[in-house]
Amino acid sequence: MLHIDSIQNGIVLDHIKAGKAMELYRVLELNKLECPVAVLMNVSSTKMGHKDMIKISEDIEIGLDILGYIDPGITVNVIRDGKLVEKHCVDLPEKITGYLKCNNPRCITTTEQELQQVFKLSDRESATYRCIYCEAKYK
């Protein structure tokens, strides 16, 4: 059995859908941190069967919006002095800034590339996001 120590101070991203941890690792740019980061994949879970986890032994700023978009089931646990002090359940964000890219060739963002890419949630049930400029659906 693989054993990873509990962290004293930092963040634990729990209940990540199995197989998604590396995507989160890249998106959150965890490779740029100097502190220890543990990526656990395919951990047994009573609730999910299998899940991924990421343990970051530093209290960094995490973009909850992006987490919610990639996997709305994630739990963010903040640990201080070995104790759980905050717990956030992420959800689909209302707005996503600077992550998705509009692929409508007629959109103004295709010619004015310094414009910030912003998407708004237009249908929560189908997790549909639309570009705020041209309203094209993100595919």
- Identity of the residue, 90 or 131, whose beta carbon is nearer to another protein in the bound complex: 131
Distance from the Cα of residue 4 to its chain's centroid: 22
Give the shortest CB-110-to-another protein separation in angstroms.
7
Number of shown-chain residues binding another protein (CB under 8 A): 19
- Identity of the residue, 25 or 133, whose beta carbon is nearer to another protein in the bound complex: 133
Residue 137 binds another protein, judged by CB under 8 A:
yes
Residue 53 binds another protein, judged by CB under 8 A:
no
81-120 mask for another protein (x: CB under 8 A)? -----------------------x-xxxxxxx-xx-----
Give the shortest CB-111-to-another protein separation in angstroms.
6
Sign of the dihedral through C-alpha 78, 81, 82, 83: negative
Q: Which tokens in the block code for residue 90?
A: 């992420």
For residue 60, give Cα distances in angstroms to 31, 55, 75. 13, 11, 15
- Identity of the residue, 34 or 114, whose beta carbon is nearer to another protein in the bound complex: 114
User: Cα separation of 38 and 15, whole Å?
Assistant: 15
User: Cα separation of 56 and 134, whole Å?
Assistant: 38
Look at residues 85, 111, 84, 113 and name the one whose alpha carbon lies nearest to residue 98.
113
- Identity of the residue, 57 or 117, whose beta carbon is nearer to another protein in the bound complex: 117
Place of tokens 């995490």: 62
- Identity of the residue, 83 or 106, whose beta carbon is nearer to another protein in the bound complex: 106
Residues engaged in binding another protein (CB under 8 A): 104, 106-112, 114-115, 122-123, 131-137
